[in-house]
Amino acid sequence: MCAVNFATALRNEVTEMRMKRREFLKAVSIALGGASAVSASNGRIPQRVLGKTGVEVSAIAMGGIVVMNMPQKDADAMVRWAYDNGVTYFDVAPTYGDAEERLGPALKGLRDKVFLACKTEKRDKQGAAEALRQSLKRLQTDHFDLYQLHALRTKDDVEQAFGPNGAMEAILEAKEKGLIKFVGFSAHSEEAALMALERYPFDTVMLPVNFASLLKNGFGRKVLEKARETGAAVIAIKAMAKTYWSGERKVQKCWYEPLMERHQAQLALRFTLSQEPVVVAVPPGDEGLFQMAVEIAKSYRPLEKEEREELERLASPLTPLFPLRD
């Protein structure tokens, strides 16, 4: 697809999506209703509507890092445990070690029952197309429910992805072919996230929505507001993050220090899940912390005033992870 045709096609799609704005906002209203009214059901994680996609997914996702470096039989057992406890959203990326190779076989027999999301860090068309092809092969599937630009951090990242022969050309062509159902992005920068939301009507935004960063720095608030305005569902990461490691790294699959005490973790996770338009939270990649998050979500309820005040006191002495330090 040449640059002129791509630009025209992109403008046409944006126009069409905006014409359907009322339908989008209606879908978002449904999703947000779910976000404030989630309750436990039969010992399983509640389901929520993923914004304007209209698809129901679990309020907790399983990140591929959970099964990274696991023997296949253990990965199979972990995926089955997650599914049996209500997890229907699975998120992975080529940068997560061998997670794709472990997750693909583990999802056999479940693929048509779950929502599978993948990502690419490639910013060029050729690289993104090849990354998509390889991920489909490793995950043993013929399509992704959601495909995302991964880890947008700077203005240049967005410009490259949307420029001539950029990754968005490959993603939109793959969507036309049925290889992708929905399109999203992940970002660790408010600037990049807001810029991306201006360029295309994304279905989802993956963003750190963390109690300390939001309460102390306001990080993410503008993106949450913009996502609400555009109808994009937010997939929250780092909900159970505490701060930077100050000594020995005790959890190998976390570059940050997570909240490991259950009471604190449940306050933080419930805080994140109550932020509109957050629909899904992806817990840390450590299997024990992931399982704890699943159990917490089964009895989700919004924070009471006293609990929020307790969380504010917990955040007070912490150094927030976001914005990221140089």
Kindly report, residue by residue over 235-246, the tens digit of the pLDDT: 999 999 999 999
pLDDT at residue 158 above 80?
Answer: yes
- Decide: residue 150, CB within 10 A, 0-12 exposed, 13-18 middle, 19+ buried: buried
Q: Are 111 and 86 in contact (CB under 8 A)?
A: no
Q: Which pTM does this prediction carry?
A: 0.89
Separation of CA 43 from chain center: 23
Specify the range with the lowest mean pLDDT, choosing from 23-32, 64-73, 275-284, 307-316: 23-32
pLDDT at residue 234 above 60?
Answer: yes
Kindly report, residue by residue over 127-155, the tens digit of the pLDDT: 999 999 999 999 999 999 999 999 999 99
Q: What is the DSSP letter of 269?
A: H
Kindly report, residue by residue over 182-191, the tens digit of the pLDDT: 999 999 999 9
pLDDT for residue 170 = 98
Q: Are 271 and 301 in contact (CB under 8 A)?
A: no
Structure tokens given for 144: 């992704």
Please name the amino acid found at residue 83.
Y
Distance CA 36, CA 290 (A): 22
Q: Which residues pair with 166 in a beta bridge?
A: 124
Distance CA 35, CA 302 (A): 9
Distance CA 269, CA 251 (A): 18
| CATH assignment of 3-315, among 3.10.129.10, 3.40.50.720, 3.20.20.100, 3.40.50.2300 | 3.20.20.100
CA distance readout (Å), 45 to 4, 14, 49, 163, 286:
46, 34, 13, 40, 19
Q: Are 238 and 208 in contact (CB under 8 A)?
A: yes
6 versus 100: which is more confidently predicted?
A: 100
- Decide: residue 249, CB within 10 A, 0-12 exposed, 13-18 middle, 19+ buried: exposed
pLDDT for residue 14 = 54
Distance CA 63, CA 287 (A): 10
Query: What are the residue ranges spanned by the domains of the chain?
Result: 3-315
Distance CA 200, CA 227 (A): 12
Of the chain, the percentage scoring pLDDT greater than 90 comes to 85
Q: With left for phi above 0 and alpha for psi between -120 and 50, is residue 250 left, alpha or beta?
A: alpha
Longest dimension (CA), the chain: 57
Query: Which backbone phi and psi does 154 adopt, to 5 degrees?
Result: -130, 165
Q: Are 268 and 240 in contact (CB under 8 A)?
A: yes
Distance CA 92, CA 61 (A): 10
CA distance readout (Å), 284 to 3, 102, 156, 188:
39, 17, 28, 16
Structure tokens given for 28: 């978002």
Helix (H) or strand (E) holding 90: strand 89-91
